Amino acid sequence: MTDAELIAHAKKARERAYAPYSGFSVGAAALAADGRVFSGCNIENASYGLTNCAERTAIFKAVSEGVREIAALAVVADGTLPCSPCGACRQVIAEFSIGRIILANLSGAKKIVTPEELLPFSFSLDPANK
């Protein structure tokens, strides 16, 4: 799957965002190693701590369907810069070793990063990292 196709899945997911408090709609699409795509949007709540980001929604949907290998993740929002994940999402991305993260905006800007670039020194099950 091309970056453009994965971004298109994320854009479509963004249209379903529930963001009445921030007005900032985000979409994400996780590409499983087997080729399936799992999309997600941000879902806000009046109690902000209960909000779930688009990235975690997409990743958790994939995991709940038995996926453990995610090849790529696209994240899209309507900002001047490509949309960058929050800290919690960065840790979840690191947990599943998603090697290709495509950050994009609706204007066509994009940046490709690795989990290490997003979150150096992430928590890990690797005994060497403890």
Beta strands in the chain (DSSP E): 26-32, 37-41, 70-77, 100-105, 110-113
CB of 76 closer than 8 Å to CB of 50: no
CA dist 129 → 88, 123, 124, 125 (Å): 18, 7, 6, 7
User: What is the predicted pLDDT for the residue at 129?
Assistant: 47
Averaged over successive runs of 10 residues, the pLDDT of the chain (130 residues) comes to 97 98 97 98 95 98 97 97 96 94 97 94 64
According to DSSP H, which parts of the chain are helical? 3-14, 54-64, 87-95, 115-118
Active site residues: 55
- Among candidates 34, 32, 36, 74, which has minimal Cα distance to 55? 74
CA-based max dimension of the chain: 43
User: What is the predicted pLDDT for the residue at 130?
Assistant: 43
User: What is the predicted pLDDT for the residue at 125?
Assistant: 64
CA dist 55 → 7, 108, 129 (Å): 13, 19, 24
User: What is the predicted pLDDT for the residue at 126?
Assistant: 60
One-letter amino acid of 65: E
User: What is the predicted pLDDT for the residue at 88?
Assistant: 95
User: What is the predicted pLDDT for the residue at 83?
Assistant: 95
